[in-house]
Amino acid sequence: MSTDKIAITIERATLGKLDELVKKKVYPSRSRAIQEAVQEKLDRINRTRLARECAKLDKAFERSLAEEGLSEELSEWPEY
């Protein structure tokens, strides 16, 4: 994975908490802790977006599509 170096501004109290985590070996470095925090936030945003998009779906229509597909292909499914 390629990485880029950046500079950030962070509140002193937050940096102190971050340094404590590094000191306790929760993270190997400030950089790693910040990288994981940013990735976690981006993942959370993507999950929220997916949930919003799913909420827009018409449940009855989606169910009818699923049931239509199941009834047509059910005879082709292997027995277990």
- Residues 79 and 33: their CA atoms lie apart, in Å, by 50
Polymer length in residues for the chain = 80
Summarize pLDDT for 45-54 with one digit per residue, the tens: 888 888 888 8
Q: What global pTM score does this model have?
A: 0.60
pLDDT at residue 37 tops 70 = yes
* Alpha carbons within 13 A on the beta-carbon side of 55: 6
How far out from the chain centre does Cα 58 lie? 24
52-68 average pLDDT score: 80
